[in-house]
Structure 1
Amino acid sequence: MAKEIKVPQIGDGVESATVSEILVAEGDKIEKDQSVIAVESDKASVEVPSSAAGTIKEIKISEGDEVEVGQVIILLEDSDDGDEEAEDNKETSEEESEDTDDDDEKQSDKKKKKVEEEKSEDSKDSADDEDEDSDEDDEGEEEKESENDESESEDEDKKEKKKSGKSSGKSTGAGIQASPGTRRLARELGVDLSEMAEEISGKISEKDVKEFAKGGNQKSTKLASVSLPDFEKWGSVEREPLNNIRKATAKNVTASWQSVPHVFQFDEADITDIQQYLEANQDKAEKAGGKLTITALLTKIVASALVRFPKFNASVDMENQEMILKNYVNIGIAVATEKGLLVPVIKNADKKSIIEIAAELTNIAEKARDGKLSKEDMEGANFSISNLGGIGGTNFTPIVPAPQSGILGISRSAKKPVYIEDEFKPREILPLSLSYDHRLIDGADGAAFINWITQALEDPYKALLGA
């Protein structure tokens, strides 16, 4: 009898992923824990192992398909296990049969009791009968309405399943835990329960729906949309689906932009002298397996700044009206890949040397471009750095990745004439852009933060000494 291989839990909060590669073929003999497919989520690419050994009878998915946790992807032919399963099914069937007989007896007793009660009710006067009929009518209407609600919910579930082409239903259809009344309210308010199911574990209540509709659920990532015209009126068009990374980016930046009141601050740093420092120490970084860059140096400088300015290392909790100050310094580094932007995290950056940071940056950048970042590699950032200097531009305004409170943007440096000691001298000037959450940080704090970073860039030892 065939044994089912299902998609395991890929990671916290990851309920679906796209099949990027099928590593086996029908007829192959595989061992337990052997990788059978590779999947890609918005967080990382991972290989899915087989939960059992056997011969592959059928592969039920194709490359490019989106699969959900618990979905059957492969059938294995395994006669020994099949006999055991058949025996288990037989025992289960016998138990269910016994339960059914017990249920039938109970139902028969209930029917007899109901008949006796109805006969007793016939002896009441006509006034009682009228009241009784009225009550029964009300109850009948309520039961009918409930049945209609359930019918509508079932129809809705079927439509959602048909639309998605899946039967496991994690965030759609019957997989959503909500009463008929809650579903009806969601339809009336225009709330998508599948989006709520991504944020709320357990049963969704009417209160949850109302708060979601009012925008009270700050975790909501529902995208604002506009009505699109028929673009084909002016020429031919092509449609291309968004990959998982791009979909996640769209949701996250929209949520951040809608929930964080942004302030943008700009400054310029003279990095003429610090470039000499980078060149002089490049050999040390290469021996450690990295490359000493302005990003590596700024990661160390920003780590020191976050210790000095703790609000930039904090998060705001509006629900409890609190500021969460963190006693660790983790910095996210934006990395551009062919599939989109990924932000791996340098953990405990304040406790690492510039050489250690340089080596780690090189490693995580390679993993990001190869699609090998794990969930842990991308979690826990308190502040982020985005460097577009290798591409160009004089300044930009990066979006704060909530629940972080700030992000530093780096643009391309350029030689500029700077008036020093009664004459103009050519100096290498680096533009910096700071975005921060105004709920936690005021303009004076923002100016002080970026000014300290600028001074640290102009003095290579400032950050190291913690001055």
Structure 2
Amino acid sequence: MEVLVKVGDTIAKDQSLVTLESDKATMEVPAPFAGVIRELKVKVGDELSEGDVIAIVDAAGEAAAPAPAPAPAAAPAAPPVAEKPAPIAARGVLPGNAPEGDVPPTARPPFDAKIVMPGDVPYASPAVRAFARELGVDIQQVKGSARGGRIVREDVAAYVKHALASGARPVGGAPVPAGGGLNLLPWPKVDFAKFGEIEEKPLSRIQKISGANLARNWAMIPHVTQHEEADITELEAFRKQLGAENKELKLTPLVFQMKAVVAALKAFPQFNASLDASGEKLILKKYFHIGIAVDTPDGLVVPVIRDVDKKGLLDLARELGEISRKAREKKLGPNEMSGGCFSISSLGGIGGTAFTPIVNAPEVAILGVSKAAIKPVWNGKEFAPRLLLPLSLSYDHRVIDGALAARFAVFLANQLGDIRRLLL
């Protein structure tokens, strides 16, 4: 966290107070009203949760009011009431919320998780509870590290890491074998320094979070990968021509691949689906939001471009450039990281001939794209040089069988092979 103001500063409404950094993005918290910073409640590097007070601000144009008068002595049980509470000058500024106005922060009782979550109910958000369920973790066993004992994703991930390292973890109160119930051997413990010089480098937060997700997806989804090649000779010529006519845009092959994927999803709706939590129902989606894997210095992120079916190639090129920039600068918002139907992971700018991308749950398939290469192709009379693009389609075999995956891959290759089909 970075603090953008100091005590004594005069601030305007909507001026940024602090910059918060989450797992995959950063966001600025604006001031909900103008005034003067009287006291800062945070410092650089602090971890904040929703509801934490950032600063005490003397609001511009308001005067402090006396506390409400107590009730008459004849009715001691009644709480103190003021007929018309007046606004106060000092207000607590909360992340993502307007000030509470009539109640000064000093008058509020100290936060206690048991007030919000009484009894032995774990104090955690629905998203964290869902994350724990996906990993098979009994959240009752996890100790929260955030304010008031709140359990966050990092606590769940740390619990799983510790359990796997120790060889067992309690789920529902009962221990399971090493490897989280997969009957795997414990992870080897090796003193690498005995063999030579070493250097320790901590993983980034993105790598830690994505690593846990990837491990879950690979372990819980039965992956199969179908490989295909698309002849993109004509498509590449058209792309270069269109790029020359729109030099202000970076028109990459990815925008054509996105349009072709949408056409394939419409033709094979089982790919535009997700299994429900019980694993007994398939949820078919009527929208087409495509996740794009973006390589950043801190690790891989997958922002989502929405309604690809309703946008043209040039519009997609602009949006793809903007969302890729925001991903590299860690400025993606939560809404830009969720809601995907199908993901594309393109390594075409780097190299390789094929790979096995990991399905991004709760999606049921993902497309891997490798580097296109000129190859001789028999046209019925002779071998002719053609530009072929390797495609790697990984899918959830619980939902999609091999024949359907092969048809999807062939259909997709045909879409890329004849750009006229993209206009249908």
Relative to the length of structure 1, the TM-score reads 0.65
Cα distance, 1:74 vs structure 2: 2.5
Report matched runs for 1:4-19 at 5 Å.
19=1
Q: In 1, distance between residues paired with 2:121 and 2:262? A: 51
| Identity level (%) | 40
Distance 1:258 1:211, change over 3 A: farther
- RMSD of Structure 2 on Structure 1 (CA): 3.8
2:251 to 272, 276, 292: 292
Bigger radius of gyration: 1
Give 1:346 deviation, angstroms: 1.9
Q: Distance in 2 between matches of 1:256 and 1:175?
A: 36
* Distance change (3 Å), C-alpha of 1:370 and 1:318: closer
Deviations 1:68-110 (A, max 9, x none): 11222323357997943x615x859x99x94599xxxxxxxxx
Counterpart for residue 279 of structure 1: 240
The structure-2 alpha-carbon separation of the partners of 1:212 and 1:386, relative to structure 1 and needing over 3 Å to count, comes to farther
Give, in angstroms, the shift of residue 239 of structure 1: 4.5
Give the match for residue 202 of structure 2.
240
- Using the alignment, how far apart are the partners of 1:252 and 1:175 within structure 2? 32
Q: CA deviation at 1:214?
A: 8.8
1:258 and 2:198 aligned: no
Name whichever of 23-32 and 329-338 sits farther off. Answer: 23-32
Amino acid at match of 1:327: K
Q: Deviations over 1:152-174 (max 9, x none)?
A: xxxxxxxxxxxxxxx9687xxx6
For the Cα contact (< 8 Å) 1:398–1:407, is it kept in 2? yes
1:241 & 1:65 partners in 2: Cα distance? 20
Q: 1:344 & 1:182 partners in 2: Cα distance?
A: 31
Question: 2:344 and 2:141 mapped to 1: Cα distance?
Answer: 35
- How many residues align? The count is 351
CA shift at 1:225, angstroms?
A: 8.4
Quick one: which of 330, 334, 339 aligns to 1:380? 339
Q: How does 1:327-346 map to 2 (within 5 A)?
A: 327-346=286-305
1:442–1:176 distance in 2 versus 1, CA, 3 Å: farther
Q: Which moved more, 1:190-199 or 1:437-446?
A: 190-199
In the alignment, structure 1 residue 24 sits paired with structure 2 residue 5: yes
Which residue does the alignment assign to 1:315?
Answer: 274
Shift of 1:256: 2.1
In 2, Cα distance between equivalents of 1:343 and 1:52:
35
Give 1:33 shift.
Answer: 3.0
CA contact (8 A) 1:189 1:213 kept: no
Q: How does 1:357-436 map to 2 (within 5 A)?
A: 357-436=316-395
The DSSP-based 3-state class of the residue aligned with 1:67 is coil
Task: Report the equivalent of 2:67.
Answer: 87
Structure 1: runs of 5 or more not aligned: 1-18, 102-166, 200-208, 216-223
Structure with the larger helix share: 1
Report the 3-state secondary structure (helix = DSSP H, G, I; strand = E; otherwise coil) of the residue aligned with 1:281. Answer: helix
Distance 1:188 1:275 in 2: 52
Q: Counterpart of 1:37 in 2: which secondary structure? A: strand
CA deviations 1:193-239 (Å, max 9, x no partner) are 5499558xxxxxxxxx9659799xxxxxxxx9846444455545435
Consecutive unaligned residues in structure 2, runs of 5 or more: 80-109, 124-136, 154-169, 177-184
Q: 1:278 to 1:59 in 2, by over 3 A?
A: same
**Counterparts of 2:174 and 2:379, CA distance in 1:** 59
CA contact (8 A) 2:36 2:60 kept: no
Corresponding position of 2:130: none
Which residue, out of 34, 42, 53, partners 1:72? Answer: 53
Distance 1:456 1:431 in 2: 14
